[in-house]
Structure 1
Amino acid sequence: MRRSNFPIIVAFAFFTACSPASVEENVDFVIDDAAKSRLDSTLQAYVNSGNVAGISALIFEKDQEVYFNAFGFANKEKNIPMDRNTIVQIYSMTKPITGTSLMTLYEEGKFQLDDPLEKYAPEFANMKVYQGVDENGEMILVDADRPVTIRDITRHTAGFPNRDNIPGLSKVMKEKDARSYENTLTVMAEKIGSTPLWFQPGTQWEYGQSVDVQAFLVERISGIPYADYVQEHVLSPLKMNDTRYVVKEEDLDRFSAAYQRTGEGQLTQMPDSSAHAFNLKKWPLTPGGFGLTSTLDDYMTFARMLVNEGTLNGTTILKPETVKLMATNHLPDTVTERSWLPSKGRVGFGIDFAVRTDPPASQEEMNGVIGEFFWDGAASTLFWVDPVNELTAVLFVQLFPYDGIGLHKNFRDAVYGKFEPQAK
């Protein structure tokens, strides 16, 4: 794996050390001919094996496009190939876009990260915390030790429950149905705020509805509907014209089908009526945690804005110091319960990104460079920003369940070369 010689320091230090202006003409690229060959063979192999219907990838390095290719089909039934302008559901890759929207308000001084959420949203005042159930199956609740903060909802430490196997509490979640497409963000927030927390704020990392609450907070603080706000402050300025909640009828032929992998080399195309249900019409809910569709070039535009410290092609979305703040680990060592986050590699969590804090210790671990920040989506999509090498990568596929085939690991290995632990 190609790496710079650098000390292990906090993630954001790499931005200033590796700005595009410092790059020399003859500097080596991560994506050389060998990497391109690895990428082609890796992605093609997934299609050939029958484990992926269609897949595409786009990589920029040092402000240049260094790799693009697409293999297989966006829709096998209709014989539509996967292409550069294929529209996909990005699911949780919506989250970093929401976080970016929220931080535009932070830059305006509208809030501080350690402000209580209830300061702006009384729906989250006087939260109760789950302690189990009694002999009658009734929930045991105590007062929260402290209010949920905005920092909590940006790093998934708020305590919002997100599992279907918590005695008593999961039943309440199901009954509230906060993520129903028929809910507005305000109704959603009321339902989440009236559901007990699973754990005390700030004590665990648990993925969930925090970024949907961020979208609600943007709407509440700005006074502008969230869908309009993200359009006005992120998507339109960056000319991300194919990134949206509702796919236009004239673009449906570009909208990739979704596939369920049922066994080795076995794929079932999911009905569009169910797989695309959220994106075929306008719903009251405009979630921050999922729901957007995008293309490779659109999402790459977003990633390149981040690697360029908040500005792209003369358009500034965020200040450099804000991007650095987002790309810095905000999880203290005291947060030891981190659900499945360690499966992403040796990472912490910033503001809507996982942040790599240490290199992999073995070839079996997820590959990456200290200082990178990234996220992925339920349909096995992935992106990352590598400030050290000024590299941004976007991988698109529409595969369920989420990456059960080592796709992300092998894609990263194809980019960087397999990690070789240094001799002691």
Structure 2
Amino acid sequence: MSRLIYIVVSFTLALTACSTNQKENQIIDETATARLDSTLQSFLETGAVAGVSALIYEDGEEVYFNAEGYADRENEVQMARNTIVQIFSMTKPITGVALMQLYEDGAFELDDPISMYAPDLGELTVYEGMDEKGNPILVEPNRELTIRDLTRHTAGFANDPNAEYVGPILAEKNPMNREHTLGEFADRLWDIPLVFHPGEQWYYGMSVDMQAFMVELFSGVPFDEYVWRNILNPLGMDQTRYFVPESDRDRFAAVYSSAEGDSLQRVPDEQALSFNTNTWALTPGGWGYTSTLDDYMKFTQMLVNEGELNGTRILEPETVELMATNQLSEEVTERHFLPSKGQVGFGIDFAVRVRPPQSPEENNGVVGEFFWDGLASTLFWVDPENELTAVFFTQKLPFDGSLHKEFRDAVYGPL
């Protein structure tokens, strides 16, 4: 009997120690909560944003929520948990998940040439400058453009209408015209010379919109319908959509803009909200969705749970790991604005942290995290080491990375 009592007491002490250790190691404790509240309030006090909200889960449980300021300042509509915002490029990881579901089904391999599946798009050329007579130098790519290039932004697609020679062609072809289907988008994009050979640089652009076209090609289903059937509906993400109906527009956040040193000005709704308050032929993979904090948190929780949420499996664990693994070699030294995100590489539609921050000025975070953000200064990340996911919403233009820096410091503590 004494031996049984000893075992029971020892087990109880072990559980207590484990519980205490978990509490000590928790990221979002009372100190972090106070930092977060203070940080969000400071964004309002300094006039950096009109409204801001944040939701954090740790170990599968909600550990922080707050909303400050206005979703619609002029009409005094408070920023709230169910506020609908434009997530812009936070659409991209959803598209990546859709594509990788088809990868799991055996529809393609990452290093397959796109021409294997879409030969009708024709031949690509690469612009290498002007010759001495002022004629463009157009050459064949050094190698074929692959699906992996699309997933890691190494395709070479033009993205600057002011660029030499290619810029005017991009403006003329206007592949992202809202009246175009994804097929028409792809046809027009393929007619524009690449600005570098596939794999040579990391350059942000329309690669993920091409992924959406590939999803349609592989599945035989319209992209938006495929995403609804296979990701959004299974996860219960009924607030994540392109079109916001009239009945929900009282929750749709306004967009605000400020130049450095200027006060926030509301972007006219007919301009800022027009994509999501009308129906269009274009269903872009790189931007366009709206969402709420809780809806997008379901997506991040699926990812931190290695592809599963509440018994619903969206991806296999190995696929999530592949997506969250850096796909850029050290030879890719030209990386557009990616270095501004910190010590990161790029996986499949996520930035991936490969080293700890090297200075207090850099974005805070944990090696192994994967994340992305949106044009109106939204942000999410997945921290597998701490089983932590964070979603940060505001609607501010131009993109303000300083908000993310301060929010990350509030979560983890300043470096």
Cα deviation per residue 1:105-132 (whole Å; 9 max; x = unaligned)?
0010000000001111124443111101
Match of 2:325 in 1: 328
Q: Per the alignment, in what secondary structure is the counterpart of residue 339 of structure 1?
A: coil
1:86–1:255 Cα contact (<8 Å) kept: yes
Relative contact order higher in (CA < 8 Å, ≥ 6 apart):
1
Structure 2 residue 406 is matched with structure 1 residue 410: yes
1:249-328 mapped onto 2 (5 Å cutoff):
249-264=246-261, 266-328=263-325
Counterpart in the other structure of 1:395: 392
Q: Which has the greater radius of gyration?
A: 2
Matches within 5 A, 1:39-54: 39-54=36-51
Instruction: List per-residue Cα deviations over 1:200-252 (Å, max 9, x = no partner).
Output: 00010000000000000000111100010000010000000100000011000
Pick closer, same or farther for the CA change 1:24–1:148 going to 2, 3 Å: farther
Q: What is the rounded CA distance, in whole Å, between the counterparts of 2:120 and 2:204 in structure 1?
A: 20
Amino acid aligned to 2:109: Q
TM-score of the pair, normalised by structure 2: 0.94
> C-alpha deviations, 1:10-61, integer Å up to 9, x for none?
xxxxxxxxxxxxx953312100111000100011011111121000000000
Q: 2:19 aligns with which of 25, 33, 56?
A: 25
5 Å-filtered alignment, 1:12-411, equals: 24-26=18-20, 27=22, 28-135=25-132, 137-264=134-261, 266-403=263-400, 406-411=402-407
SS in 2 for 1:342: helix
Looking at structure 2, the residues matched to 397 and 248 of structure 1 have their Cα atoms a distance apart, in angstroms, of 21
**In 1, distance between residues paired with 2:252 and 2:134?**
46
Residues 117-169 of structure 1, C-alpha deviations (whole Å, 9 max, x = no match)? 11111244431111012355432100111110000000000110111332110
User: Could you say if the C-alpha distance between residues 123 and 372 of structure 1 is closer, same or farther in structure 2, counting changes exceeding 3 Å?
Assistant: farther
Match of 1:14 in 2: none
Provide the rounded CA distance (Å) in 1 between the counterparts of 2:242 and 2:57. 26
1:283-317 CA distance string (max 9 Å, x none) = 00000000000000000000000000000001100
Tell me if structure 2 keeps the 8 A contact 1:88–1:398: yes
What TM-score results when the alignment is normalised by the length of structure 1?
Answer: 0.92
Aligned amino acid, residue 19 of structure 2: E
Cα offset for 1:282? 1.1
Partners of 1:62 and 1:396 in 2: how far apart?
A: 21
Cα pair 1:137 1:168 within 8 Å, conserved: no
Q: CA RMSD in A?
A: 1.2
More moved, 120-129 vs 385-394: 120-129
User: Following the alignment from structure 1 to structure 2, what is the Cα–Cα distance between the partners of residues 201 and 142?
Assistant: 12
Q: Give the partner amino acid of 1:408.
A: H
Q: Name the structure where helix makes up a greater proportion of residues.
A: 2
The aligned amino acid for 1:58 is L
Give secondary structure in 2 for the equivalent of 1:186: helix
Q: 2-side partners of 1:173 and 1:36: how far apart?
A: 47
Residue ranges of structure 1 left out of the alignment (5+ in a row):
1-22, 420-424
Give me the whole-angstrom Cα distance separating, in 2, the residues matched to 1:265 and 1:73. Answer: 18
Aligned residues: 396
- In the alignment, structure 2 segments of 5+ residues that lack a partner are 1-16
Q: Matches of 1:115 and 1:285 in 2, distance apart?
A: 26
% same residue: 59
SS at match of 1:278: coil
- Report the 3-state secondary structure (helix = DSSP H, G, I; strand = E; otherwise coil) of the residue aligned with 1:266: coil
Amino acid corresponding to residue 135 of structure 2 in structure 1:
E
Output the amino acid matched with 2:97: T
Equivalent pair of 1:162/1:207 in contact (CA under 8 Å): yes
3-state secondary structure, aligned to 2:198: coil
SS at match of 2:235: coil
2:130 corresponds to which letter in structure 1?
V
